[in-house]
Amino acid sequence: MSLVRQKIWSHGLTGLARFLEEFFIDVTKPSRKLKFLRGLIYANYDYVVRFPKVKVFDFLSVYPAAKGREILMLLHRDERWSLSDLETLYLLALISMRQAPKIFEIGSAHGETSYAMARINQDTHIFSLDLPVDDTVAHQNKMRWKNTSQEQQITQLYGDSRTFDYSPYLGQMDIVLIDGDHSYLTCKSDSAKALKLINDKGIIIWDDYNALEVQRAVNELLPTENIFQLKGTGFAVLDRSLADLPSEIS
C-alpha cells in the first residue's frame, strides 16, 4: 500500500474513532473500558503526526530575570497529586517575579500547590477549584493550608470545572494552573475557560502536558496561541507578557 493510501486509511479510521469517542463521552459516564479504548484511539497516527507539537525551552532562556532569585519552597510534598519539585520551583519563580496577585487553580487535591503558591508571596490570592465532596468540612480539614497563616490567601471553590460559573473571575487572573481532569474533552474545556480568565499579561500553565489527551487539547490551540513546554517538566505554558520566545530550542 502506498504512503498516501496508508494516510487516507489512517485519517478515515481516526475520524470515525473520534466521532465515536466524543459521542460516547457525551452520553455515558466514562468507564475504565472506555478510558482504555480512548487511550488506544489517542495513540494513533493522527495525533502523533498531524498536530504540531510545542517547542521546548529551558526556563532561564525564557525567563533570564529569574537567574539568582531565591525561592522558598518545601520539599516535603504529597507525591501522589502534586507537581514535581522542579515544576513547583518554576511556578514559584514565576509568581515571585510577577508578584502575581491573583491565581486560579483548576484541581486543588489537598492544596499542596495552593499552599506553596500562597507562601511565596503574601499578597497573592489563590482561587482553587475542585469537585464537590460529600463531606466538605472533613475534606477541608485535610487541606495542606488549613490552620496556617496562608489560609486567608486561599479561596476554596467547589464545582465541576466544565460547568463552573467563572463569571466573577474573568479577565482578572495573572496565572491559571490547569491540573484537574486530564481527559481531552475536559482539558479542552478548561483551556477555553482559562483563556477567558487571564488578563492581558496573564499566564496559563497546563500540568501533565506529556499525557496524550492533554497534549492533544493543548496542541489544537497552537495555530492561534504561542505555547511552549518548559524543559524537564510536564508544564506547557502560554505567557501573554512575552513579546518573543528565544530562537534556539533547547
Ligand X SMILES: C[S@@+](CC[C@H](N)C(=O)[O-])C[C@H]1O[C@@H](n2cnc3c(N)ncnc32)[C@H](O)[C@@H]1O
In terms of CB distance, is 15 or 132 closer to ligand X? 132
In terms of CB distance, is 52 or 168 closer to ligand X? 168
Report d(CA 50, CA 155) in Å as an integer.
Answer: 40
- Please identify, among the stretches 7-15, 23-31, 134-142, 180-188, the one whose residues bind ligand X according to the rule CB under 6 A: 180-188
* Closest chain position to ligand X (CB): 107
User: What is the DSSP code (8-state) at residue 84?
Assistant: P
| 74 forms part of the interface with ligand X (CB under 6 A) | no
| 217 forms part of the interface with ligand X (CB under 6 A) | no
In terms of CB distance, is 51 or 158 closer to ligand X? 158
User: What is the DSSP code (8-state) at residue 167?
Assistant: G
- Please identify, among the stretches 11-19, 25-33, 60-68, 105-113, the one whose residues bind ligand X according to the rule CB under 6 A: 105-113
Report d(CA 69, CA 58) in Å as an integer.
Answer: 16
CB of 225 to ligand X, least distance (A): 22
Render the burial of 173-196: b for 16+ CB within 10 Å, e for the rest.
bbbbbbbbbbbbbbbbbbbebbbe
| 180 forms part of the interface with ligand X (CB under 6 A) | yes
Reduced to 3 states, what is the DSSP secondary structure of residue 20? Answer: helix
The closest alpha carbon to 26, from 162, 230, 124, 161, belongs to 162
The footprint of ligand X (CB under 6 A) covers 81-83, 105-109, 112-113, 129-131, 160-162, 179-181, 186
